[in-house]
Amino acid sequence: MTERIEDFDGQRRFDDRSACDRQPGPARSVDVSGRCADCWGPIAGTKQPAGEWQHIECLVCRRAVDGNDAACEAEAMRVEGEDNMAAARIGQRANYRPDARFVLKLLPEMHRDKAKVDQRIEASLAQGRKRWRLTRHEIPPGTAGYLYAQARAFLAGVENLSREKSAISLSDFEYGEPQVVGVEKSPADGTLRVTGSVPVTYRRPSGRELMARMGTALVAGMAGAFACEVGMKAILVTRLGGAAKTHDLLKLYRELPDDSRGRLEGDFPEIADVLGHSRETFGRWRYFEQGIGEDAIRALVDTDRVWGVGKAARVIADECVVAGLNYEIDIDTSFEFDWRPGDMSTAQRIHLSLEGGESSIVWEELLQAGTDDGSSGREE
Ligand SMILES: [Zn+2]
């Protein structure tokens, strides 16, 4: 029997608000998706025939738990997800167990009001172009979703890269048979003390291999930083009608609305530090230009930073969803037949389409509604 791979994806619906209620209020539906607490990668696993989880694994960093540990982790995730539900429905941050290995990310479908948001976009267009800002003139209504799609594409690319990113890898070492090097008898109590050693040979990787590993780290770091940049710009444009024309990740982060930053910090408490350390990865640093210092060059190939930027990018991509951004990607193929006596040729046309959509969520009113009554509604 082959085991079925399952994920934690699902949806919760709430019917505590009448369908006629057009006022901003708690989300009526919340998508649920499993995440690795270490790298925020998607997770999957297998279940026992009785339905208990027996294996959970991160699809990005491969961290895993098995057996009873997996069952306990899944139960803790479920309880925590329920505890976070009411807050998520009104756009508040999540709280996770400090020792969580995996968590449930809640993605609420917030109340939308297209007419109000159209007005806001009109007003933002009426303000005219600004030299140092990306505005609605550069990113017309609907297209912020493209930026989000770009962030997801970069992330998907990074996840396909080789995992071998550090200059020194465990696979460079070969371990021999343990050898006894000495035996001593203690004169006091007669106990024997045996000392041994394990021969280790370090196989120095070739220059070409080292360059390839450094290059993989470089590509992953830059793509991750760029995914952070376009993701934050997508959120800024859809929420505030514009973003600074900069590659500086920390600057963009500081421009985000408070509630958005709150949710990001809930998912990744160190996100501001990580973005600060890698703030110019895709800006000045990508040129290896003189004068930027050794620190910047090290940042480009430092695997810890590459990990941090990748996690930040994944957390930001989830925030794009909560902010109301979406995209659809599709491939249309059509065949053409060309028939002549004695000869037939076929041609295939491929049309790749990408459609970006964006938020018509009335955030200000929603957040206001959330603080006014202090409650978040009952569950079904
Ligand atoms: Zn992971």
pLDDT in tens, 201-259: 777 777 787 777 777 877 888 888 899 999 999 999 989 889 999 989 999 999 999 99
| Cα(375) to centroid(ligand 1), Å | 34
| Cα(306) to centroid(ligand 1), Å | 13
Amino acid at 307: W
Select the more confidently predicted residue: 302 or 122.
122
The predicted structure's pLDDT at residue 286:
57
| Cα(330) to centroid(ligand 1), Å | 28
The predicted structure's pLDDT at residue 362:
80
Give the lowest-confidence range in 62-71, 101-110, 154-163, 364-373: 364-373
Give the lowest-confidence range in 21-25, 28-32, 165-169, 364-368: 165-169
> How much of the chain exceeds pLDDT 90, in percent?
38
| Cα(98) to centroid(ligand 1), Å | 16
Give the lowest-confidence range in 7-11, 242-246, 348-352: 348-352
The predicted structure's pLDDT at residue 347:
59
Q: Whole-prediction pTM value?
A: 0.80
The predicted structure's pLDDT at residue 352:
64
pLDDT tens for 25-70 read: 899 999 999 999 999 999 999 999 989 999 999 998 889 999 999 9
Could you tell me the two tokens for 313?
Answer: 């990018």
Q: What are phi and psi of 200, to 5 degrees?
A: -125, 130
pLDDT band at 165 (very low <50, low <70, confident <90, very high): low
| Cα(265) to centroid(ligand 1), Å | 18
Q: Are 355 and 328 spatial neighbours (Cβ–Cβ below 8 Å)?
A: yes
| Cα(17) to centroid(ligand 1), Å | 37
The predicted structure's pLDDT at residue 4:
84
| Cα(41) to centroid(ligand 1), Å | 5
| Cα(220) to centroid(ligand 1), Å | 15
- Across-strand partners of 355? 328
User: What long-range pairs does 146-149 form, CB within 8 A, spacing at least 24?
Assistant: 146/327, 146/354, 146/356, 147/230, 147/231, 147/233, 147/234, 147/237, 147/325, 147/356, 148/230, 148/231, 148/234, 148/317, 148/320, 148/325, 148/326, 148/327, 148/356, 149/327, 149/329, 149/354, 149/356
| Cα(315) to centroid(ligand 1), Å | 12
DSSP 27-39: -SEEEEEEEETTT
| Cα(99) to centroid(ligand 1), Å | 14
pLDDT above 70 (res 289):
no
Give the lowest-confidence range in 21-30, 71-80, 154-163, 337-346: 337-346
pLDDT above 70 (res 341):
no
In a 13 Å sphere around the CA of 77, the CA atoms on its Cβ side amount to 25
| Cα(44) to centroid(ligand 1), Å | 11
pLDDT band at 380 (very low <50, low <70, confident <90, very high): very low
| Cα(121) to centroid(ligand 1), Å | 38
| Cα(311) to centroid(ligand 1), Å | 9
Q: Which span out of 99-103, 274-278, 340-344 was modeled with the highest average pLDDT?
A: 99-103
Give the lowest-confidence range in 22-36, 126-140, 362-376: 362-376
| Cα(43) to centroid(ligand 1), Å | 8
| Cα(267) to centroid(ligand 1), Å | 14
pLDDT band at 339 (very low <50, low <70, confident <90, very high): low
| Cα(304) to centroid(ligand 1), Å | 13
pLDDT band at 283 (very low <50, low <70, confident <90, very high): low
Domain ranges of the chain: 1-111+362-380, 127-168+207-361, 170-202
| Cα(38) to centroid(ligand 1), Å | 5
The predicted structure's pLDDT at residue 299:
58
174: helix, strand or coil: strand
The predicted structure's pLDDT at residue 376:
42
pLDDT above 50 (res 335):
yes
| Cα(103) to centroid(ligand 1), Å | 11
What mean pLDDT do residues 303-325 have? 90
| Cα(289) to centroid(ligand 1), Å | 33
pLDDT band at 337 (very low <50, low <70, confident <90, very high): low
The predicted structure's pLDDT at residue 108:
95
| Cα(293) to centroid(ligand 1), Å | 31
| Cα(104) to centroid(ligand 1), Å | 13
pLDDT band at 288 (very low <50, low <70, confident <90, very high): low
| Cα(65) to centroid(ligand 1), Å | 12
d(CA 88, CA 106): 7
CATH topology of domain 127-168+207-361: Four Helix Bundle (Hemerythrin (Met), subunit A) (1.20.120)
Tell me what the pLDDT averaged over the chain comes to. 82
pLDDT band at 345 (very low <50, low <70, confident <90, very high): low
The predicted structure's pLDDT at residue 75:
97
